[in-house]
């Protein structure tokens, strides 16, 4: 339903494991502000947080749930649904941490692990420097957070670490804001079972995201 | 029974502050001697010396407003007293205390204005017009009445005229003393249910004060003054014309008593004014206008039979015009297809899951608040996406141009319908930087089941804004419609209004859409029914009570 949108370059090629937020003008506005070089840092953070919140909310929709019936204060019954327990978040340091608050705002006590992947400036070769997860991560659904994918190398490394911790590929949902077609292709090729959720697939990645968000530019 | 007399002063923003006048005891209100008006007198004695402080500036008759003078507020009768305490306006009469309530619907179930019933009251100075007006209001048992007095429309005096006035030689009883044009325009707008700014005339300086009194149209508008029937145009606007016919000797006696005993003027001055100006004006202009009257009330306010007849007639007229809103709303539109103006959030598992939490009666308050907030955030984001956007190309740090969009309207404001709508304000502020927030308080009158407007604070120039109107739940839509009507009365175009809710009943959606097709309706869920207490089914319960923790104990 909400998935792909032909306006994004080449989305059709990626299959149903890549989902793009339903495009609305207002999401486009958020993206425009984030990409605009003249946006102030305070605006940047403000609008980034809004977009993150929307992406996180949509990512949570991918989690498993079951039906249930509750009684309302009027005494009537409501056919609702209930999310299963056993989820966790994992952020890829540093820019992935920008998305942690958004997740916290939706799930108050969710466990959050971290992975630090450093990429070699010359070769773009990525290597994992640090990883810390909840102990039983192998039994959980994992919401992997990383806002910008340009080559996809960092994410590929991070997922490799998760798999080393016995997390099943199909239990991983990647939450992402901006993704290049190249990165999408390589990540999908590496992990065909993983689900990816992004707000935009575009050939230029706003690589200034982390710097501007954290103010280290 | 419970009449709530209303004062006219709507909880409008402007009017609000209560003047300091104390509540007058009822009797006083009704003493005719004091109440009657004659407008001119006071004017005269503007000489600073004379009047004890309270009386000084004459109150703008507009009714109650805030005139400093406490003593003879004619208008006072009802209105002012009522506004005394801003929240609980009180009108005391001999036998009961009447709390003025909020403003009930002033439009029909199609959202259209219902023409108010306009009563004109004319009569000589000190004939008891105010007393009659008060008694009518008291017996009418209509919650919202606007009283407009000609006193508000005295012209500003030149210096020379001012001097004449000091010598009791300025003719306040002559038609030339009034600004009939403004009077007509004001009455016309009130009749259309719009907001008006009524001048406040200062009887000491004989000029208009810089502040004005804000008034709204009402179900019943009473217009009174010595020359109420003078202008042919105004005459046409009056649905019922009452002439208060009190004998000249009685009127003179009241005038003498009031001016001398209460205002400290001297006998000679009062008589001079009466003989030279007041009396001739009466015979030239006022008495002849009696031919226009539908009803002539001899002896003024003491004439209970006459008042009863008048009240009966007004009741019949009001019923014909149909003011029973909520009940009517609840029974229309069954089985119609949903209107185009509704925008329902896509029902995702998250939204359904959030609803499951907040609808469950066993959800503890902290979770209720938490999950409500998440849902509110989603609906507000969704509402914003319905506003207009324009193309924009921006430069990126990566050196390429990006074809994007920006909002086409930078003037967006939020208006919450208290109390439950207030819970949504935070989310609007979280997504729109520096947004202005207005508030409207609408409460259900438990005895009539109708919504009533109590309070209103809106950003200035709200007509230039896109308005996100927030209420947590919409059942019959009665409160939402009243809020929309308020916005329309402030000249906000329908297309600029979005009514945003977490949960709506289909009936409410139909009512709003039918009445205001241009208003966009945004909600996260639609429930099919409402129960006899106007709660949505299956619903969420009383959202405000659950959020703020004020539910009655048996409900928890």
Query: What does the pLDDT read at residue B105?
Result: 58
Contacts of B547 in chain A (CB under 8 A): none
| Domains, in order of start, for chain B | 26-323 (3.40.50.300), 333-555 (3.40.50.2020)
Tell me the per-residue pLDDT of B113-139, one tens digit each, with 9 for 90 and over: 567 889 999 999 888 888 888 888 777
Residue B502's pLDDT is what? 93
CATH numbers and ranges of domains, chain A: 11-214 (3.40.50.2020)
- Measured between beta carbons, the chain B residues lying within 8 angstroms of A43 are 433
Kindly indicate the confidence band of residue A171, based on its pLDDT and cuts at 50, 70 and 90.
very high
Task: Mark yes or no for CB contact A73/B555 under 8 Å.
Answer: yes
Q: Minimal Cα–Cα distance from B424 to chain A, Å?
A: 16
| Closest alpha carbon within chain A to B394 | A36
- Is residue B348 reached through a cis peptide bond, with omega within 30 degrees of 0 on the bond before it? no
Q: Which residue has the higher pLDDT, A43 or B537?
A: A43
> Is this prediction's pTM over 0.80?
no
CA distance to partner chain A, nearest, from residue B488 (Å): 26
Confidence (pLDDT) at B64? 36
CB nearest to B396's CB, from A37, A58, A61: A37
CA distance B458 to chain A (A): 26
Q: CB–CB of A204 and B398 under 8 A?
A: yes
Question: Closest partner residue to B537 among A37, A57, A76, by Cβ?
Answer: A76
| Residues of chain B neighbouring A58 (CB-CB closer than 8 A) | 348, 350
Q: Which residues of A touch B540 (CB under 8 A)?
A: 72-73
- pLDDT for B551 equals 78
Partner residue opposite A73 with nearest CB, options B353, B361, B407: B361
- Exposed e or buried b for every residue in B193-216, given b needs 16+ CB within 10 A? bbbbebbbbbbbebebeeebbbbb
| More confident call, A121 vs B4 | A121
pLDDT at A1: 37
The closest alpha carbon to B98, from B146, B26, B34, belongs to: B26
**In this predicted model, what pLDDT tens digit does every residue of B328-365 receive, in sequence order?**
555 555 556 788 888 999 888 889 999 999 999 889 99
State the pLDDT at residue B211.
Answer: 77
Tokens of B271: 């008589």
Chain A residues in contact with B353 (beta carbon < 8 A):
65, 80-83
pLDDT at B112: 57
Q: Which residues contact B531 (CB under 8 A, 6 or more apart)?
A: A74, B537
A interface test, pick of B345, B346, B361 with most A CB neighbours within 10 Å: B361
Low-confidence ranges of chain B (pLDDT < 70): 1-114, 141-144, 214, 216-218, 321-336, 445-449, 554-556
Going by C-alpha positions, the residue among A116, A114, A161, A155 that lies closest to residue A134 is: A114
- Residue in A closest to B349 by C-alpha: A61
Q: How far apart are CA B420 and CA B431, in angstroms?
A: 19
A132–chain B nearest CA distance, Å: 28
Per-residue model confidence as pLDDT tens digits over A59-98: 998 888 889 999 988 888 898 898 888 899 999 988 899 9
H or E element, residue B536: strand B536-537
Overall average pLDDT of the A204-214 stretch? 89
Picking from B374, B378, B389, the nearest residue to A29 by CB comes out as: B389
Cα of B147 to nearest chain A Cα, Å: 43
A81–B370 CB contact, under 8 Å:
no
Of A13-17, A206-210, B254-258, B333-337, give the lowest mean pLDDT range. B333-337
E strands, chain A, in order = 18-20, 65-71, 77-83, 87-93, 111-119, 126-132, 141-145, 148-149, 172-175, 178-179, 195-198, 200-201
pLDDT, one tens digit per residue, over B185-235 is 998 888 877 777 888 887 777 788 887 776 766 678 899 999 999 999 999
DSSP reduced 3-state for A18: strand
**Angstroms from A210 CA to nearest CA on chain B:** 13
């Amino acid at each position: 339903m909400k998935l792909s949108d032909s306006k994004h370059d080449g989305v059709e090629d990626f299959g149903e494991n890549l989902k793009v937020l339903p495009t609305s003008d207002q999401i486009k506005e958020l993206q425009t502000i984030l990409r605009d070089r003249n946006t102030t840092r305070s605006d940047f953070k403000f609008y980034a947080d809004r977009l993150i919140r929307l992406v996180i909310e949509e990512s949570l929709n991918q989690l498993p749930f079951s039906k249930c019936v509750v009684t309302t204060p009027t005494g009537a019954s409501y056919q609702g649904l209930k999310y299963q327990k056993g989820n966790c978040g994992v952020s890829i340091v540093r820019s992935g941490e920008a998305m942690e608050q958004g997740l916290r705002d939706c799930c108050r006590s969710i466990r959050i692990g971290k992975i630090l992947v450093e990429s070699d400036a010359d070769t773009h070769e990525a290597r994992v420097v640090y990883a810390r997860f909840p102990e039983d991560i192998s039994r959980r659904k994992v919401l992997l957070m990383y806002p910008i994918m340009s080559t996809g190398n960092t994410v590929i490394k991070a997922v490799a670490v998760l798999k080393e911790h016995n997390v099943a590929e199909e239990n991983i949902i990647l939450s992402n804001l901006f993704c290049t077609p190249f990165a999408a292709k390589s990540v999908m090729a590496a992990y065909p079972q993983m689900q990816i959720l992004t707000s935009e697939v575009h050939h230029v990645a706003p690589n200034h995201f982390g710097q501007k968000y954290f103010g280290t530019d | 029974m419970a009449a709530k007399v209303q004062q006219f002063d709507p909880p409008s923003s402007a009017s609000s502050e209560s003047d300091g006048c104390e509540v007058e005891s009822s009797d006083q209100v009704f003493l005719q001697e004091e109440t009657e008006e004659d407008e001119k007198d006071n004017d005269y004695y503007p000489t600073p010396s004379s009047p004890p402080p309270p009386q000084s500036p004459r109150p703008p008759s507009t009714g109650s407003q805030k005139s400093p003078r406490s003593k003879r507020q004619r208008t006072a009768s009802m209105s002012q007293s009522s506004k005394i305490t801003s929240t609980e306006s009180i009108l005391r009469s001999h036998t009961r205390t009447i709390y003025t309530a909020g403003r009930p619907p002033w439009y029909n179930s199609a959202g259209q204005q219902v023409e108010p019933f306009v009563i004109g009251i004319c009569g000589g100075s000190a004939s008891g017009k105010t007393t009659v007006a008060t008694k009518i209001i008291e017996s009418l048992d209509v919650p919202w009445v606007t009283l407009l007095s000609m006193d508000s429309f005295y012209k500003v005096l030149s210096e020379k005229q001012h001097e004449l006035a000091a010598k009791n030689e300025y003719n306040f009883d002559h038609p030339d003393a009034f600004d009939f044009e403004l009077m007509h325009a004001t009455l016309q707008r009130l009749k259309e249910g719009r907001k008006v700014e009524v001048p406040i005339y200062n009887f000491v300086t004989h000029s208009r004060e810089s502040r004005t009194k804000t008034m709204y149209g009402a179900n019943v508008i009473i217009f009174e003054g010595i020359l109420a029937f003078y202008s042919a145009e105004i005459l046409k606007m009056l649905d019922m014309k009452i002439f208060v016919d009190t004998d000249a000797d009685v009127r003179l006696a009241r005038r003498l008593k009031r001016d001398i005993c209460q205002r400290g003027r001297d006998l000679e001055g009062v008589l001079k004014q009466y003989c030279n100006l007041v009396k001739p004006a009466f015979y030239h202009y006022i008495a002849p206008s009696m031919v226009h009257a539908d009803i002539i009330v001899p002896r003024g306010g003491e004439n209970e039979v006459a008042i009863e007849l008048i009240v009966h007639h007004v009741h019949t007229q009001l019923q014909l015009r149909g003011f029973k809103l909520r009940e009517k709303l609840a029974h229309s539109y069954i089985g119609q297809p949903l209107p185009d103006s509704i925008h329902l959030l896509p029902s995702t598992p998250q939204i359904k899951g959030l609803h499951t939490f907040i609808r469950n009666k066993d959800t503890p308050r902290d979770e209720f608040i938490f999950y409500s907030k998440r849902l509110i955030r989603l609906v507000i984001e969704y509402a914003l996406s319905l506003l207009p956007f324009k193309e924009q190309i921006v430069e990126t740090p990566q050196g390429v141009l990006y074809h994007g969009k920006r909002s086409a309207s930078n003037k967006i404001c939020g208006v919450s319908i208290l109390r439950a709508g207030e819970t949504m304000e935070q989310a609007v502020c979280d997504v729109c930087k520096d947004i202005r927030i207005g508030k409207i308080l609408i409460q259900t009158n438990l005895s009539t089941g109708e919504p009533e407007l109590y309070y209103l604070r809106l950003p200035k120039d709200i007509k230039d804004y896109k308005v996100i109107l927030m209420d947590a739940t919409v059942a019959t839509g009665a409160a939402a419609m009243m809020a929309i009507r308020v916005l329309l009365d402030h000249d906000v175009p329908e297309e600029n209004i979005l009514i945003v809710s977490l949960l709506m009943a289909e009936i409410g959606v139909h009512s709003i859409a039918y009445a205001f097709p241009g208003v966009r309706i945004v909600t996260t869920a639609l429930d099919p029914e409402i129960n006899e207490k106007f709660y949505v089914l299956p619903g969420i319960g009383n959202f405000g009570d659950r959020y703020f923790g004020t539910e009655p104990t048996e409900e928890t």
